[in-house]
Amino acid sequence: MQFFKVKTVEETFALIDENIAAAAGTEVRELKESLHYILAVPVTAKENVPGFDRSTVDGYAVRAKDTYGSSESMPGFLTVAGEVEMGEAPDTKVTHGKAVYIPTGGMLPEGCNAVIMIEHCEDVDGLLNTYKQVAPGENVIRAGEDIKAGEVLLEAGTKLRPQELGALASLGITHVTVFSKLKVGYLSSGDEIVPYETETLSLGQIRDINGLTILGLASEWNVDVIYGGIVKDDFAIFQQKARELYEQVDCLIVSGGSSVGAKDYTTDVIQSLGGPGVFVHGISVKPGKPTILAVANGKPVIGLPGHPASAMIIFKLFGERIIRLLKGEVIQKKPERIYARMTKNIPSSPGRSDYIRVRLEEKAGEWWAEPIIGKSGLITTLVKSDGIVEISSEKEGVSQGEYVPVIPSR
Amino acid sequence: MQFFKVKTVEETFALIDENIAAAAGTEVRELKESLHYILAVPVTAKENVPGFDRSTVDGYAVRAKDTYGSSESMPGFLTVAGEVEMGEAPDTKVTHGKAVYIPTGGMLPEGCNAVIMIEHCEDVDGLLNTYKQVAPGENVIRAGEDIKAGEVLLEAGTKLRPQELGALASLGITHVTVFSKLKVGYLSSGDEIVPYETETLSLGQIRDINGLTILGLASEWNVDVIYGGIVKDDFAIFQQKARELYEQVDCLIVSGGSSVGAKDYTTDVIQSLGGPGVFVHGISVKPGKPTILAVANGKPVIGLPGHPASAMIIFKLFGERIIRLLKGEVIQKKPERIYARMTKNIPSSPGRSDYIRVRLEEKAGEWWAEPIIGKSGLITTLVKSDGIVEISSEKEGVSQGEYVPVIPSR
């Protein structure tokens, strides 16, 4: 039996980063089917985007110096020599004293270096009156200004948001190598837990709701989920079912039962799945202290507290990071918190991170976080909440009116 | 030909709220397949959750007053009369001077009104030494404390997050009536636009990237998407293809071409789809001024600017709200912005809302928003960005160091 010291939230995140690596599988996917996948190999641009100099406005392609000195009161005059057709290379050159009509996105004719906006000139029977001067390069996007041939457009580990798909499409990339979709499995245990479909409960029973909340959260992170069902508080059965589900998934989540003995053997079941095993056993956090994090032969195993609301908060905090790392994402440090002012004094113990469910209310143009009263076992505290206020471990609570970071729930 | 006054962002949102209603279709779905759907009818609880008084800790069920006066130095003494089994109604009563072992979540035996935590007592061969007094109700969740039979648990229009699924599961609800999944269609137009799969471009051509970015965003909002392809700048063909796609979808998005005349007839094409037609034609916003919003026979039609980056920003701002309302969601006013400090002075015109792409960087414990330099046509400006800073229409820009609201991109 190993002994574990309870970890702080900060230590837990550091241990997660140290222990969790990308699952190995990659695949080549069609670009349009790759939203929210993680790029497994970098993408280098094979051509310039755009491939030619373009106008950013509707106007006239000109030589900039031909417009110098033009103003409302003293217009310049140019001869309209033609028109650029969209999607085609222009057949007219711009020479001294000439202008060519060009729509937004049109290809710049040879000889010009700027575009004068249609609002700043007037075509009077082929004579263009220019009311404003333009500088060289004005209203023009140069070839390669968006993406340069040869540059690394996206690094491995990048999450493909809609804009990344767009940038890849602009290069004509139809397939990308990404990390394969993960399978995440969840197994409930507890003598009192029955399937949520159970119509009538016997006294002492409750329905399994973690199967829906935990796997619901996981599927928000673009993974496939497998519900392993409910096992009774029995070491041998729990171990067997955990092993069966573990074999099918990339990440296993269990919650241990509450019966005498069950708490102790949840750790043993997790340890039995493979080495190196448990790396966090107990986190200095409220709610959710009895959390277990492990790696068994490269697969993360997460032991959640049984209370539904605690389980959700813990899984959102630590499970999301574990799954993103396992997906191969290179996590950039980005703000994921909004700020609000606390409506009440909330005490907390230094050395422990507290997570307070709150409702957000706007008063006089500011957001205020109103704590939701209720024990951590109550699922409705999360239903009523707009987010979770984080009181970090070095604080002794927060005061009324204080600005606090809130993890919003979508 | 109607004439339209350019609208402010605030006016545009008000007009969207006024003009867009939930699409009619509803369906009964399995609860576990209903994540992110919108509830179409309210749900009333048919039973209490929990259905019985439960312990929130491991400990001993007692009569609170039997512990009064107990302390570390002067423990009280009770007789251990039995044990509560998980998932079963206890067979032992708690009478004066008695205590019954109870695990977390266990059902309270008759006669007790509190639970003393295992950490605050000691079972010495059946004699329980109590080192702390407990108050009536302490460490107990009462029947109905989470959800009360007869109460409206969730209102129509509620988005089903994981926690809502959990609360419904706790009641044994297996099916819910939700608004059916929407179909959103997108049609590109422009003589210069070719399919993104095109391997080699002719001069003047660019690949269609809005099909991926706009439909990628839409699919983040739990809708099905249909890509209608690309039409040349020709009124009759554009109208026919728009009509065909309009017939298949609940919301149509088009982007008009840039050729001479194309800009004018995009409005005509949209108007031709049905009444009441266009309600916003031009928004005082940068980028994205030439945005068109319409309703044709109850279906929203959105005319986006052609520049990919402008199209994405406009669709994220206004398209998301349109689609959420169309999905039947009752949108609660909630903060969707984070705050950061601007690294540079950014001028803007009063009366116009500006949206500046930024990279977020942490310096000395604060988030700073660094504007991304680049014209609005460049897709890479969005690839490099972590979010969009909003400079509202009443401001003349923001100063270096000023706190600004940021719409984060996920």
pLDDT score, position B286 = 86
Report the alpha-carbon distance of residue B17 to residue B13 in Å, rounded. Answer: 6
Determine, yes or no, domain membership for B333: no
Higher-pLDDT residue of A107, A335: A107
User: Tens digits of per-residue pLDDT, B378-399?
Assistant: 888 888 888 899 898 888 899 9
Asked if residue A303 has pLDDT above 60, the reply is yes
Asked if residue B156 has pLDDT above 50, the reply is yes
- A193/B257 Cβ within 8 A: no
What's the pLDDT band for B3 if we cut at 50, 70, 90?
low
Q: Is the dihedral of CA B105, A232, A299, A324 positive or negative?
A: negative
Quick one: DSSP state of residue A372?
A: P
> Which residues 94-113 of chain B have a CB within 8 Å of chain A?
101, 103-107
> How many residues would you count in chain A?
410
CATH of residue A42: 3.90.105.10
Amino acid letter for position B115: V
pLDDT score, position A379 = 81
Asked which of A286, A301, A326 is the last residue of a domain, the reply is A326
Quote the minimal CA–CA distance from A208 to chain B in Å: 7
Say if residue B385 is in the same domain as residue B342. yes
Find the residue in A nearest to B85 (Cα). Answer: A259
Asked if residue A1 has pLDDT above 70, the reply is no
Determine, yes or no, domain membership for B2: no
Q: For residues B336 and B407, is the Cβ–Cβ distance under 8 A?
A: yes
**Residue % of chain B over a pLDDT of 90:** 77
Residues of chain A in contact with residue B170, where contact means CB-CB under 8 angstroms, are 196, 206-207, 209, 308, 379
User: Between the CA of residue B253 and those of A49, A97, A287, A330, B19, what are the distances in Å?
Assistant: 25, 42, 45, 34, 16
Report the alpha-carbon distance of residue B80 to residue B121 in Å, rounded. Answer: 12
B102: which 2 tokens? 């109870």
Determine, yes or no, domain membership for A2: no
What's the pLDDT band for B287 if we cut at 50, 70, 90?
confident
Quote the minimal CA–CA distance from A50 to chain B in Å: 7
Say if residue A345 is in the same domain as residue A270. no
* A83: contact with B, CB 8 A cutoff: yes
Say if residue A35 is in the same domain as residue A80. no
Report the alpha-carbon distance of residue A231 to residue A211 in Å, rounded. Answer: 13
* A212: contact with B, CB 8 A cutoff: yes
Q: What angle do CA B288, B291, B296 make, to 5 degrees?
A: 160
pLDDT score, position A3 = 61
Over chain B, what is the mean pLDDT?
93
Asked if residue A123 has pLDDT above 90, the reply is yes
Asked if residue B376 has pLDDT above 70, the reply is no
CATH of residue A268: 3.40.980.10
Higher-pLDDT residue of B2, A111: A111
Residues of chain A in contact with residue B227, where contact means CB-CB under 8 angstroms, are 32
pLDDT score, position B22 = 96
A72 three-class SS: coil
Asked if residue B2 has pLDDT above 80, the reply is no
Determine, yes or no, domain membership for A244: yes
Asked if residue B161 has pLDDT above 90, the reply is yes
- B35/A154 Cβ within 8 A: no
Say if residue A232 is in the same domain as residue A245. yes
pLDDT score, position B363 = 86
Residue with tokens 């719409």: B407
- Residue B140 has φ and ψ, to the nearest 5°, of -130, 135
- A169/B206 Cβ within 8 A: no
A342: which 2 tokens? 């606390």
Say if residue B236 is in the same domain as residue B260. yes
By CB atoms closer than 10 A (0-12, 13-18, 19+), residue B248 is exposed
Residues of chain B in contact with residue A258, where contact means CB-CB under 8 angstroms, are 58, 86, 103-106
* B165: contact with A, CB 8 A cutoff: yes
Structural domain count, chain A: 4
Residues of chain A in contact with residue B255, where contact means CB-CB under 8 angstroms, are none
B368: which 2 tokens? 């700073």
User: Tens digits of per-residue pLDDT, A336-364?
Assistant: 778 889 999 999 888 889 999 999 988 88
Say if residue A271 is in the same domain as residue A376. no
Question: What domain range is A315 assigned to?
Answer: 9-24+181-326
User: Tens digits of per-residue pLDDT, B289-307?
Assistant: 889 999 999 999 999 988 8
What's the pLDDT band for A373 if we cut at 50, 70, 90?
confident
* B30: contact with A, CB 8 A cutoff: no
Interface confidence (ipTM) of the complex: 0.92
Q: For residues B23 and B148, is the Cβ–Cβ distance under 8 A?
A: no
Say if residue A295 is in the same domain as residue A251. yes
B269: which 2 tokens? 């094409």
A211: which 2 tokens? 């199967």
Give me the helix-helix angle, B262-272 and B235-248, nearest 10°. Answer: 40
Report the alpha-carbon distance of residue B295 to residue A21 in Å, rounded. Answer: 49
- Beta-carbon count within 10 A of A66 CB: 24
- A87/B191 Cβ within 8 A: yes
pLDDT score, position B132 = 96
How far is residue A42 CA from its own chain's centroid?
Answer: 19
User: Tens digits of per-residue pLDDT, A40-86?
Assistant: 999 999 999 999 999 999 999 999 999 999 999 999 999 999 999 99
Report the alpha-carbon distance of residue B85 to residue B88 in Å, rounded. Answer: 6
Determine, yes or no, domain membership for A4: no
Quote the minimal CA–CA distance from A244 to chain B in Å: 22
**Residue % of chain B over a pLDDT of 70:** 98
A81: which 2 tokens? 């020599």
Quote the minimal CA–CA distance from A77 to chain B in Å: 22
pLDDT score, position A364 = 81
Quote the minimal CA–CA distance from B275 to chain A in Å: 30
Report the alpha-carbon distance of residue B62 to residue B250 in Å, rounded. Answer: 60
Say if residue A247 is in the same domain as residue A378. no
B332: which 2 tokens? 């609660």
Quick one: DSSP state of residue B357?
A: E
Determine, yes or no, domain membership for A333: no
pLDDT score, position B1 = 43
By CB atoms closer than 10 A (0-12, 13-18, 19+), residue B105 is buried
pLDDT score, position B380 = 86
- A172/B199 Cβ within 8 A: yes
Asked if residue B260 has pLDDT above 90, the reply is no
- CB neighbours of A180 closer than 8 A, spacing ≥ 6? A23, A25, A26, A27
pLDDT score, position B264 = 76
Say if residue A89 is in the same domain as residue A202. no
CATH of residue B76: 2.170.190.11
Amino acid letter for position A30: E
Determine, yes or no, domain membership for A332: no
Asked if residue A407 has pLDDT above 90, the reply is no
Find the residue in B nearest to A382 (Cα). Answer: B163
Say if residue A318 is in the same domain as residue A347. no
Q: What angle do CA A237, A239, A240 make, to 5 degrees?
A: 65
B322 three-class SS: helix
Pairing of strands B292-296, B299-304: antiparallel
Mean pLDDT for A232-242 is: 94
Asked which of A130, A157, A179 is the last residue of a domain, the reply is A179
Report the alpha-carbon distance of residue B9 to residue B284 in Å, rounded. Answer: 7
Asked which of A122, A157, A179 is the last residue of a domain, the reply is A179
pLDDT score, position A410 = 66
Quote the minimal CA–CA distance from A13 to chain B in Å: 18
Report the alpha-carbon distance of residue A161 to residue B349 in Å, rounded. Answer: 31
Determine, yes or no, domain membership for A72: yes
Nearest by CB to A213, which of B104, B162, B194? B162
Mean pLDDT for B2-19 is: 89
What's the pLDDT band for A263 if we cut at 50, 70, 90?
confident
The DSSP annotation for A149-166 comes to: TTSEEE-TT-B--HHHHH
pLDDT score, position A2 = 54
Pairing of strands B251-255, B299-304: parallel
**Residue % of chain A over a pLDDT of 90:** 77
Nearest by CB to B172, which of A197, A203, A212? A197
Of the candidate ranges A203-212, B106-115, B374-383, the one whose mean pLDDT is the lowest: B374-383
Say if residue B283 is in the same domain as residue B393. no
Q: For residues B238 and B191, is the Cβ–Cβ distance under 8 A?
A: no
- A380/B147 Cβ within 8 A: yes
Quote the minimal CA–CA distance from A177 to chain B in Å: 16
CATH of residue A365: 2.40.340.10
User: Tens digits of per-residue pLDDT, A136-180?
Assistant: 999 999 999 999 999 999 999 999 999 999 999 999 999 999 999
Say if residue B209 is in the same domain as residue B273. yes
Pairing of strands A403-408, A338-342: antiparallel
User: Tens digits of per-residue pLDDT, A17-33?
Assistant: 999 999 989 999 999 99
Residues in a beta bridge with B22: none
Asked if residue A409 has pLDDT above 60, the reply is yes
Report the alpha-carbon distance of residue A279 to residue B89 in Å, rounded. Answer: 37
Residues of chain A in contact with residue B339, where contact means CB-CB under 8 angstroms, are 338-339
B231: which 2 tokens? 């039409």
Give me the helix-helix angle, B210-219 and A162-170, nearest 10°. Answer: 160
